[in-house]
A = this chain, B = another copy of it.
Amino acid sequence: MPTIVVEVMPKAELLDPQGKAIAGALARTGRGEFQVRQGKRFELTVPGDELTQELLDRVREIAADILSNSVIEDVVGVHVVGRETPAGV
């Protein structure tokens, strides 16, 4: 059963309140040198064991349509768990 990971991050130019809140918490614990951005990570699993280009393309389509909001987010990665498929998006 191939598992495909989709990674989504807020667009760089947008304010990231969650990231700011975490950076603030780090600063309060003496680790203020970090800048933090928070996004989402999805694991899509399909029964069967065949990993095809068609399957990867469908996941990319899902990533763009459903897993991310193209106005405020970017899909920054689509890769197969255990294999660094050059699944450039």
Chain A residues in the interface with B (C-beta under 8 A): 7-9, 19, 22, 25-26, 29, 31, 33-47, 58, 62, 66-67, 84
**Other-chain contact of A46, B33, B41, B47 (Cβ < 8 Å):** B33
Closest chain-B Cβ to A29's Cβ sits at a distance in Å of 8
Closest chain-B Cβ to A67's Cβ sits at a distance in Å of 7
Closest chain-B Cβ to A9's Cβ sits at a distance in Å of 7
Q: Do the beta carbons of B62 and A7 come within 8 Å of each other?
A: no
**Other-chain contact of A84, B39, B45, B67, B84 (Cβ < 8 Å):** B84
Q: Do the beta carbons of A41 and B8 come within 8 Å of each other?
A: yes
Q: Which residues of B contact A40 (CB under 8 A)?
A: 38-41
